[in-house]
Amino acid sequence: MASPRPYSPPITRGRRAREAASSDRLPMDVLFNVLLRFPARDICRLRTVCRSWHSLISDPVFITEHAARHPGPLFLAQFRDDKTHSIYIVDLSGNVVKRIAGAAGGPYHRLQCTRLDRACLTTDWNRCHVLNPATGAVQALPESPAAEHVNRVNLRDPYTFFALGRVSSTGDYKVLRMFNRLGFAKGGHQLFEVFTINGGDAHARWRGQQSPGLFVDECSGVVVDGVVYFLTSRAYDGARYGIRADYIVSFDLGREEWRRDLRGPISSKVGSASSYMRHHLTLAELKGSLVLADRRHQPFTLDLWFLVDSESGHWVKEYHILTGPTISRPVLVDESFKPLLLLDDGRLVVYVGTRGQLFIQDPGTDNFARVYMGLLDSVSVYTGNLLSGG
């Protein structure tokens, strides 16, 4: 007679979890240091190994130290050939770190060029979604206008611009919306409104704002430390208006009011208001400062002017790039040219929208080299931490 087999308890889900935990023979401090070496893309997947790993990876101390070891940069990207309406987080080599399926909110939504831990996806006809890439949470903003503008907005043909910024003093995220009816040349109006993200019931509506008194070029808008800056409309080009090409107006999201107008660093160096056109100039946010990029075509140069004191209007030219004869010229000439980021080693990352490409300017050669990835539909800089999503 065969001897009876030893009893084996049934394999349950709880038993599997305990066995997985007990199979981890590494001391916790050793595991901590090993996991720190993995990029965020792998760490997000390793969360699912077992509860102890999930707990370790979700710990604020680990998240902070991992961010210090892997400083980025990272970008939020939409690709032209992607039909899933996804947002991708990519590194500077073009590698996909994370894909957020369906986060774009539908066709024709475009990423606003921000430098935040949030993303703003908008359309020209009044659609705005705010995305938290770490958690995947999306908030759709209401389309109805502020009470002050109910009878002044044609919602069948609204033509809107949106800008998302963070107010450092309160931590609030706010969106500035502009309805641009007909435009300066046809006697139209630009109506402005503000909305607070997750601001509670008291702020869950758009609030009408005063206009700045001048028409702005909505495509020039850039947000720096909770302030939205605009160049004035190209309709003012020409001596009869007396408004210089680098004249800048700005809206403070924290105070929800227009600030004193700002004169740029270029106009004092040209003979007349008509001798310099706005398509030579681009506003950007680099290293926490407002930057005016001045592109010249003969010779092909790029100057980056940094605003160092907004009260006095003092600018400093920190970069003068004399470009080479190869890929640099078409990059600079393109009006969709947009500086995105200054790297710690001094290299400049720019986006050329019509080409759907990122380029890196090498200070050693002054040439712009392409970053090889899929053709981009829109892009922004991501400053958040993907591990903070839990």
Task: Check whether 177 has a pLDDT greater than 60.
Answer: yes
pLDDT tens column, 77-127: 999 999 999 999 999 988 888 899 999 888 889 999 999 999 999 999 999
Cα radius of gyration (the chain) = 25
Whole-angstrom Cα distance, residue 281 to residue 329?
16
pLDDT at 179: 94
Mean pLDDT over each residue of the chain, to the nearest integer: 84
Contacts of 131 (CB under 8 A, 6+ apart): 87, 100, 103, 118, 119, 120, 121, 137, 138
Percentage above 90 pLDDT, the chain: 47
Contacts of 84 (CB under 8 A, 6+ apart): 101, 102
Across 19-28, 115-124, 169-178, 341-350, least confident range: 19-28
The phi, psi pair for 221, rounded to 5°, reads: -60, 135
Q: Angle at Cα 192 formed by Cα 226 and Cα 177, nearest 5°?
A: 65
- Asked if residues 177 and 195 have their Cβ atoms less than 8 Å apart, the reply is yes
pLDDT at 5: 45
Across 25-39, 249-263, 321-335, 352-366, least confident range: 321-335
The phi, psi pair for 351, rounded to 5°, reads: -120, 130
Region 218-224 average pLDDT: 93
Short-list 154, 205, 202, CA closest to 180: 154
Contacts of 207 (CB under 8 A, 6+ apart): 146, 193, 194, 195, 256
pLDDT at 383: 92
Task: Check whether 239 has a pLDDT greater than 60.
Answer: no
Contacts of 79 (CB under 8 A, 6+ apart): 88, 374, 375, 376, 377
pLDDT tens column, 346-380: 899 999 999 999 999 887 777 788 898 999 999 99
Task: Check whether 128 has a pLDDT greater than 50.
Answer: yes
Across 13-27, 66-80, 85-99, 278-292, least confident range: 13-27
pLDDT at 17: 44
pLDDT at 60: 78
**Where would I find the H helices in 125-268?**
none
388 pLDDT tier (thresholds 50, 70, 90): confident
- Asked if residues 322 and 367 have their Cβ atoms less than 8 Å apart, the reply is no
pLDDT at 324: 61
- Domains of the chain, CATH where assigned: 72-382 (2.120.10.80)
Q: Angle at Cα 378 formed by Cα 96 and Cα 140, nearest 5°?
A: 95
Short-list 351, 346, 329, CA closest to 282: 351
pLDDT tens column, 130-157: 999 998 999 999 999 999 999 888 888 8
Q: How many CB atoms lie within 10 A of CB 39?
A: 14
pLDDT at 270: 52
63 pLDDT tier (thresholds 50, 70, 90): confident
DSSP sequence for 346-382: S-EEEEETTTTEEEEE-TTT-PEEEE-SSPEEEEEEE
The tokens of 245 are what?
């090409």
